[in-house]
Structure 1
């Protein structure tokens, strides 16, 4: 009799344990970094930007790179701004910072740029702002990734943020071929607005004739 009661009690306890395990719900906290990054992507206004970032996510970092075989931070910002917004930035991050109109971090909008100085002197890193404190960039260790701009590691080295200053830079960057005394030199030409707009029609012109000076003639293309 005692043995029967003991067996019944044991079965009852086991049934309760099994039932409890079967009905317990395991949930992942929604405030994790990965979920917040996913939310930032889901909240993008531009679907083209969403596709661009998704297509490049995970591509490894390579200094000086500009393709899927490897890309650096300024190269990624260069390609993104050109393909999504039709803006031709300089190729180097510190020069990109020079053509950005400064904004408070709280006023940043999708597609704005954020600049960092990890070395403590000049700008040496750039990313593209998304929303809700997240940005996308080419990390030296993780490649193209969406990151949290509010992390102390980024806040400590954030030196500038803002949007491309169209008044100063709306004309884009023009590469020129300069000929002097029979020798040809390649050089970069920066033409500020409104002259740039008048000359190249918002980067639609294929050639600009510039008056020769000091025995120099130019042939140029976008």
Structure 2
């Protein structure tokens, strides 16, 4: 009898222990040393050399450095502002002729005609010798479209489809050009003025 009781008690204990092992949650395995997470990385808290690399990769700006914007300069006598420094000597030299009287066949500051003015400016600024007459000067240039003109291009005029070129000037910007007119001498005019708009023939760029 006593043996049967002992066996019954052991059976009960066995069942109880089996229940406890099944009900207890399994503990996760301890993390290995190499798998420990790094401390949070911020620009203000760098924790290791590896973190320095990570911060730099995150915070370093892209290489988007643009070329410096040229400083704007104002030519008072022309009443215009320019940015491209390549034009500065040209526009400053040309502006120094403002007010020079018109004189046919001459090319000095005592008096000059249209082609004389253009040839003097180009020789002083670029060391280029252009043809002396506006008509022959057209052969010294490469023709460009009116909407593609840039500072320093030459503008040519004629009175009709079959008429020869009779006048030339130097394009500035914003439809403005500088030239020596028979009435007024060296001055700045606009291609939008009716007279020049009507007689405009072509623009050319000196090669």
CA distance in 2, matches of 1:118, 1:80: 25
CA contact (8 A) 1:118 1:125 kept: no
2:156 to 107, 115, 123: 115
Deviation per residue, 1:7-59 (Å, 9 max, x gap): xxxxxxxxxxxxxxxxxxxxxxxxxxxx9x512xx226322223212211000
Aligned residue in 1 for 2:144? 103
User: Structure 1 residues 141, 62: closer, same or farther in 2, change over 3 A?
Assistant: same
Aligned residue in 1 for 2:184? 142
| 1:43 is the counterpart of 2:60 | no
Taking the TM superposition and a 5 Å limit, the aligned residue runs for 1:122-141 are 122-141=164-183
- In structure 1, the gaps of 5 or more residues are 1-34, 167-222
TM-score by length of structure 1 reads 0.54
Shift of 1:100: 1.5
CA distance in 1, matches of 2:142, 2:130: 13
Instruction: Work out which of the two has the higher radius of gyration on C-alpha atoms and give 1 or 2.
Output: 2
- In structure 2, the gaps of 5 or more residues are 1-75
TM-score by length of structure 2 reads 0.58
CA distance in 2, matches of 1:44, 1:97: 28
Deviation per residue, 1:130-171 (Å, 9 max, x gap): 11111000011111001111222111111111202x3xxxxx
Deviation per residue, 1:76-96 (Å, 9 max, x gap): 111111111222101011000
| 1:162 is the counterpart of 2:201 | no
CA distance in 2, matches of 1:44, 1:91: 31
Question: How many residues align structurally?
Answer: 128
Look up the SS of the partner of 2:165 in the other structure: coil
Look up the SS of the partner of 2:102 in the other structure: coil
CA contact (8 A) 1:113 1:127 kept: yes
Aligned residue in 2 for 1:91? 132
CA contact (8 A) 1:133 1:150 kept: yes
When the two chains are superposed, the root-mean-square deviation of aligned CA atoms in Å is 1.8
